[in-house]
Amino acid sequence: MNHDSLIAHNPIHPGRILRRELQARDLTMDRAARELNIHPDHLSALLAGERNLTEDDVQHIATAWNMNPQTWRNLQAGYDTHPKTRLTR
């Protein structure tokens, strides 16, 4: 197995993971925005992959949902450094 086969062909934006988390928690976007203390427009952009997670976002998610903030940092870093996302910037 070579290194290229270990890299996902299509990088997953952290917003897609966040969207799945909302679904798993059976939350509407507005309810999630309130729980996370994130403006609904900002959350909508995150979920659409139009905006990247900031450190503030990471802290809000980790605090509100008792999650490890490093997980979200790693998701964003993985997306940011993926060869396909680097080529399209």
Q: What CATH number is associated with residue 45?
A: 1.10.260.40
Question: Is 48 part of any domain?
Answer: yes
Model-level pTM greater than 0.85? no
What's the domain count of the chain?
Answer: 1
Question: Is 45 part of any domain?
Answer: yes
Neighbours of 87 (CB within 10 A): 7
Question: Is 6 part of any domain?
Answer: no
Report pLDDT digits (tens) over 22-80: 999 999 999 999 999 999 999 999 999 999 999 999 999 999 999 999 999 999 999 99
Write out the residue range of the structural domain in which residue 78 sits: 12-87
Question: Is 1 part of any domain?
Answer: no
Question: Is 46 part of any domain?
Answer: yes
Cα 44 off chain centre by: 12
Compute the distance between CA of residue 80 and CA of residue 86 in angstroms, rounded to an integer.
Answer: 7
Report pLDDT digits (tens) over 76-88: 999 999 877 654 4
Question: Is 3 part of any domain?
Answer: no
Compute the distance between CA of residue 38 and CA of residue 47 in angstroms, rounded to an integer.
Answer: 12
Question: Is 5 part of any domain?
Answer: no
Element (H, E) at 59: helix 55-65
